[in-house]
Amino acid sequence: MFEHYYSEEPSSKLKIKEIELALFNGHIYKFKTPSGVYSFGKVDKATKILIETLIKENSIKDGKVLDIGCGYGLIGITLKKEYPEIDLFMSDINKRAVEFAKINSKLNNIESTLKQGNLYEVWENEKFNHIVSNPPIVAGKEVWMNLITGAFEHLLENGTLTLVAYHNKGGKRIRDFMKQIFGNVKELTKEGGIRVYQSIKNDN
């Protein structure tokens, strides 16, 4: 699985499936999904819960938002459609993911800044109001730990990091590490085994 989608150049033959994301508020968005990218041909349950939680919380309405490890753009593009005032940034290590995030941005008629690269390497001089992700836990501990520590460095004061994970499949460790780095963490959503965690950057 790690080699399958958390890699720069997917080796699988390109296949494309179209999907629909139907939200609790009745809004429906369409995406093209490529093989070799996470959640090919389906809406990932945890990702949908993260998106719907952020909409219900109504806390990411504007400012600079980074969808890191964006895949084909499901989180970032949906948030931009729901909140047109946000300034959307997306990146992924996977070149095919970035290509389809661009395709889906056009498909959904939104503007975004897209880059291909590993975690924050491509955002060296940028700071954000909000960072969101469904972190690639299968890529290993070092990856999600660097995602969290890098978020603290790349967030503005009072900025938020919001992650989703299966609590008993690495999520508890993610929650504890977010608290260690940020000094705070809360669970916004508990649904089945899935949790949405959020930390706020406070330099004081």
Write the pLDDT tens digit of every residue in 85-112.
Answer: 999 999 999 999 999 999 999 999 999 9
Enumerate the β-bridge partners of residue 30: 20
Distance CA 110, CA 9 (A): 26
The SS3 of residue 182 is helix
Instruction: Band the pLDDT of 128: cuts 50, 70, 90.
Output: very high
Give the pLDDT confidence score for residue 178 in this predicted structure: 97
Give the pLDDT confidence score for residue 5 in this predicted structure: 45
Enumerate the β-bridge partners of residue 89: 66, 113
Does residue 38 register a pLDDT over 90? no
Q: Residues 92-125, buried b or exposed e (16+ Cβ, 10 A)? A: bbbbbbbbbbebbbebbebebebebeebbebbee
Query: What own/partner pairs with CB < 8 Å and gap ≥ 24 does 184-187 have?
Result: none
Which tops the pLDDT comparison, 42 or 102? 102
Does residue 172 register a pLDDT over 70? yes
Which tops the pLDDT comparison, 202 or 127? 127
Rg, the chain, Cα only: 15
Instruction: Give CA 111 to chain center in angstroms.
Output: 17
The SS3 of residue 102 is helix
Name the residue ranges covered by the structural domains of the chain: 2-200
What's the chain's average pLDDT?
90
Fold of domain 2-200: Rossmann fold (3.40.50)
Looking up tokens 């608290």, which residue turns up?
179
Phi, psi of 131 (to 5 degrees): -125, 130
Contact of 19 with 30, CB cutoff 8 Å: yes
The closest of 83, 107, 90 to 29, measured between CA atoms, is: 107
Does residue 12 register a pLDDT over 90? no
33 contacts: CB under 8 Å, gap ≥ 6: 16, 17, 18, 19, 39, 40, 41, 42, 72, 100
